[in-house]
């Protein structure tokens, strides 16, 4: 099994992954998210058993780093299941940028898997099998994450 030189991953996915970090962690924490993602990836890289799906692997690390950063800042954890009916709306991770579209703020407030599913499908056009691999779930579950995420965004957006 041959892994490509790590620099090739950086060249191929760097810019898109940085955008994903901005979308997931927010503008203020994107740089940390991005740096931590690449360090973690470099650390784990030689032990990878397959050179398939490197993009899904990188995005999974970035998704997890965004969650870690969010927790580390002591804010309320991003809900993973449904938000209880009585709960106040979750504060989206990351500082809000002046003039930033409501949509991105709402996207950041989604549970991580839904956020990742929505971003990777709509912005990157990622195939479902790759998305399932990224989310470590079945394709059906990936579709459900996308659907739930879009539904919530629509509710926010049209509210």
Partner 1 sequence: MNKDIENALRESAVTLPDAPPPDFESRLAERSAAEGLLDVAYAMVDSPLGPLVVAATPRGLVRLAYTGSRDETAVLEDLAGKLSPRILEAPERLDEARRELDEYFEGGRAEFDLPIDWSLTRGFTGKVLRQTARIGFGKTSTYAEVASRAGSPRAVRAAGNALGSNPIPVVVPCHRVLRTGGALGGYTGGVERKEFLLRLEGVLA
- Cα separation, 126 vs 55, whole angstroms: 10
Own/partner long-range contacts of 46-54 (Cβ < 8 Å, ≥24 apart): 46/3, 48/3, 49/1, 50/1, 51/1, 51/2, 51/3, 51/4, 53/130, 53/133, 54/4, 54/9, 54/13
User: Of 47 and 74, which has the nearer Cβ to partner 1?
Assistant: 47
User: Of 43 and 76, which has the nearer Cβ to partner 1?
Assistant: 43
User: Of 77 and 94, which has the nearer Cβ to partner 1?
Assistant: 94
Unique residue bearing structure tokens 């209880």: 84
Q: Does position 104 bind partner 1 by CB under 8 A? A: yes
116-135 residues near partner 1, rule: CB under 8 A: 118-119, 121-123
- Give 128: exposed, middle or buried? Use CB within 10 Å, 0-12, 13-18, 19+: middle
What is the closest distance, in whole angstroms, from the C-beta atom of residue 21 to partner 1 in the complex?
A: 9
Contacting partner 1 (CB under 8 A), which of 24, 25, 29, 34? 34
Binding site for partner 1 (CB under 8 A): 2-8, 10, 14-15, 18-19, 22-23, 30-31, 34-35, 38-39, 42-43, 45-46, 100-101, 103-104, 107, 118-119, 121-123, 147, 150-151, 153-154, 157
């Amino acid at each position: 099994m041959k892994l490509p030189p790590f620099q090739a991953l950086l060249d191929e996915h760097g810019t898109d992954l940085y955008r994903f970090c901005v979308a997931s962690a927010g503008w203020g924490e994107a740089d940390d998210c991005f740096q931590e993602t690449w360090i973690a990836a470099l650390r784990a890289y030689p032990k990878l058993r397959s050179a398939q799906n490197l993009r899904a692997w990188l995005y999974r690390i970035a998704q997890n780093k965004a969650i870690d950063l969010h927790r580390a800042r002591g804010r309320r954890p991003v809900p993973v299941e449904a938000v209880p009916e009585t709960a106040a709306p979750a504060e989206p991770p990351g500082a809000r940028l002046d003039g930033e579209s409501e949509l991105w703020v709402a996207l950041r407030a989604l549970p991580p898997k839904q956020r990742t599913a929505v971003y990777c499908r709509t912005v990157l056009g990622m195939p479902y099998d790759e998305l399932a691999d990224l989310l470590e779930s079945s394709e059906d579950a990936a579709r459900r994450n996308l659907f739930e995420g879009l539904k919530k965004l629509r509710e926010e957006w049209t509210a």
